[in-house]
Amino acid sequence: MQAAKQVLRDVFGYASFRPGQESVIAAILRGRDVMAVMPTGAGKSLCYQVPALVLEGITLVVSPLISLMRDQVGSLIQNGVRAAYLNSSLTSRQYALALDNARRGVYRIIYVAPERLLTEGFLDFAMHVKIAQVVVDEAHCVSQWGQDFRPGYLNIAPFIARLPVRPRVSAFTATATQSVRKDIARLLELQNPHAVTTGFDRPNLYFEVRREGNRDLALLRFLGEHRGQSGIVYCGTRKSVEEVAGMLVEHGIDAVGYHAGMGDEERQRAQEDFVSDRAPVIVATNAFGMGIDKSNVSFVVHYQMPKDLESYYQEAGRAGRDGEEATCCLLYQPADVRLNLFLIEHAQDNDKLDAQTQQVVMERAKERLKQMTYYATGSGCLRARILTYFGEKPARPACGNCSGCLMQAQERDVTREVGRIVAGVAALGGRYGKALTAKVLCGSSDPRIREKQLDRLSVFGSLRGEDEQTVRAMIEELIADGVLALTDGQYPLLRTGPRAREALLCEEPVRMTLPEPGRSRVRPKPQVDKGLFARLTRLRRNIAEEQHVPPFIIFTNATLRDMAVKRPRTRREMLRVDGVGEGKMDRYGDMFLRVIREYEDE
């Protein structure tokens, strides 16, 4: 393991292993087969890249997507590792050249598309070199249970069987379900694999659910709170991708759309704009994501509720892969449940199954939807809900880093308050928004109120003593229930809704779950000098553009942040920054050191 630690430090520039990595690496080095189930962003690549550089011989990595291979190989080369990929993006000349290099032992790590494995040229190469390990990345692609079944993955076992010496075989996936895991071990013919499943928790992700009446406004508000950050907005259908992307552009947000119905070129361009940080927001169907290795995704918003927590967690998990704080926000509306139910009941794939199996499949899908709906509508810790769903016991009942925890739910009788809110909204005559209405009701001393003489109204201060945030939360609930309504437009005004009368006449007590006043989201941030960080980002961008690679391949945000905190002045200090290995030090170290020095001398 000593050699592995040295590679981790010198080549990749990391001080320590993440959970699960050490155990996987040790097993591979001992010659064992491995089956590793680790969530997205856990750092699976390093688990086989480190042994690849310690072991004698070549490491073959089977990977499903061209873009994935390109980014991985790009990153390795930046770290000074000799690596290449063999897939259909190469011309036949390039392919022959790469294979020739490979034969001469130029590469330590070769990424290959599964369809290539059994071709004559590749087999001939593989028979005549020493292959130390075969790695199967995104191994769930071998399973027909998985959403990403790829027939080419069935070539892997026959390919390995034809090699003169059986190398160690390792399989990596983020898909946790039992049936998929069984398929992986069986179809890849793993031999007594060392199984590692790391915890599914992603502590750097903040989870939240927003149940506001109008999704577009909720989304705009969210993006307003995350200005300057980059992220994904997932939509359920192609049509809504186009609508939402259009809506964002109309509001001056640099968003691009992405879905499988677009032309290849257009889609490619959208992806590149996003990955290179030219377009901070991408609006996409779930067709977008698996091939994307962009590590600085600061948020993932789900515009609609997906069909189950598996899909949700996989897609949401694309945020914060660099280990930085990131947010996963689900916009929920009751209509989402109905739409998903409809989709389950009309699922087309089920035609091929017999009636009984069809029934079972549908029942399971409905049960999963129910769990997803509990997540979206329930109270309490969201993280605990996710982990429990995946069969893991949460370390604490409340994580303190999700909207469920921070809005520590308290159910209370609000019959009287509801009456006063409706009366207040009626008295304000639909001329003001939610915030000002809440202020009037709470009797706030905001100067705008005096200016507009709203303090002379009888409803002024009718909820004095209540917290403004709490009143706003009640207003939100009443909007969702149709008791109040918002007008369209950028500055929506609050008025009474179709069910206002009903609510006033209702004799039943009204109960609501409301946030505990005074508790807001607290997220400690390390002391990063923003000015310096901005300069480092600019330098990274310039280098990336010059080299035609995505910026995160040069350095991740986490690395630049660490640089802005540690402010290295010498080569030695620079090597102590997380993510700076010797390869990157040689390539870029001096440029970044110069920018830091200039900044400090100003």
Is 401 near ligand ADP (CB under 6 A)? no
Q: Which region, judged by CB under 6 A, interacts with ligand ADP, from 250-258, 321-329, 384-392, 507-515?
A: 321-329
CA–CA dist 489, 429 (Å, integer): 17
- Smallest gap, in angstroms, from Cβ of residue 432 to Mg ion? 50
Binding at 146: pick from ligand ADP, Mg ion, none (beta carbon under 5-8 Å per type): none
- Smallest gap, in angstroms, from Cβ of residue 197 to ligand ADP? 13
- Write out the binding residues for ligand ADP, residues 147-206 only, by CB under 6 A: none
Is 173:290 a contact under the CB 8 Å cutoff? no
CA–CA dist 514, 476 (Å, integer): 10
Is 314 near ligand ADP (CB under 6 A)? no
Q: Which of 44, 215, 302, 307 binds ligand ADP (CB under 6 A)?
A: 44
Q: Where are the beta strands (DSSP E) in 299-429?
A: 299-302, 326-331, 410-413
- By beta-carbon proximity to Mg ion, the closer residue of 44 and 540 is 44
Is 110:116 a contact under the CB 8 Å cutoff? no
CA of 432: how far to CAs of 85, 462, 479, in Å?
59, 17, 15
Q: Which of 11, 14, 226, 368 binds ligand ADP (CB under 6 A)?
A: 14
Binding at 308: pick from ligand ADP, Mg ion, none (beta carbon under 5-8 Å per type): none
- By beta-carbon proximity to ligand ADP, the closer residue of 137 and 336 is 137
Residue 554: alpha-carbon gap to chain centroid: 21
Is 184:34 a contact under the CB 8 Å cutoff? no
- By beta-carbon proximity to Mg ion, the closer residue of 44 and 561 is 44
- Smallest gap, in angstroms, from Cβ of residue 351 to ligand ADP? 34
Is 43 near ligand ADP (CB under 6 A)? yes
CA–CA dist 430, 335 (Å, integer): 26
Is 321 near ligand ADP (CB under 6 A)? yes
CA–CA dist 521, 469 (Å, integer): 13
- By beta-carbon proximity to ligand ADP, the closer residue of 40 and 240 is 40
Binding at 49: pick from ligand ADP, Mg ion, none (beta carbon under 5-8 Å per type): none
Strand partners for 494: 486
Is 78 near ligand ADP (CB under 6 A)? no
290: tokens are 């698996």
Q: Which residues contact 208 (CB under 8 A, 6 or more apart)?
A: 327, 328, 329, 330, 382, 402, 403
Q: Which of 24, 34, 41, 236 binds ligand ADP (CB under 6 A)?
A: 41
* Number of residues counted as binding ligand ADP (CB under 6 A): 19
- By beta-carbon proximity to ligand ADP, the closer residue of 210 and 561 is 561
Each residue 116-155 as x (binds ligand ADP by CB under 6 A) or -, in order, gives ----------------------------------------
Is 295 near ligand ADP (CB under 6 A)? yes
Is 40 near ligand ADP (CB under 6 A)? yes
For residue 23, the SS3 value is helix
For residue 341, the SS3 value is helix
Q: Which of 4, 29, 36 is nearest to 193 (CA)?
A: 36
Q: Which of 541, 487, 516 is nearest to 410 (CA)?
A: 516
Each residue 444-463 as x (binds ligand ADP by CB under 6 A) or -, in order, gives --------------------
Q: Which region, judged by CB under 5 A, interacts with Mg ion, from 7-15, 41-49, 117-125, 567-575?
A: 41-49
Strand partners for 323: none
- Smallest gap, in angstroms, from Cβ of residue 138 to Mg ion? 7
CA–CA dist 443, 459 (Å, integer): 9
598: tokens are 């200039």
Site residues for ligand ADP per CB under 6 A: 14, 17-18, 21, 38, 40-46, 293, 295, 321-323, 556, 578
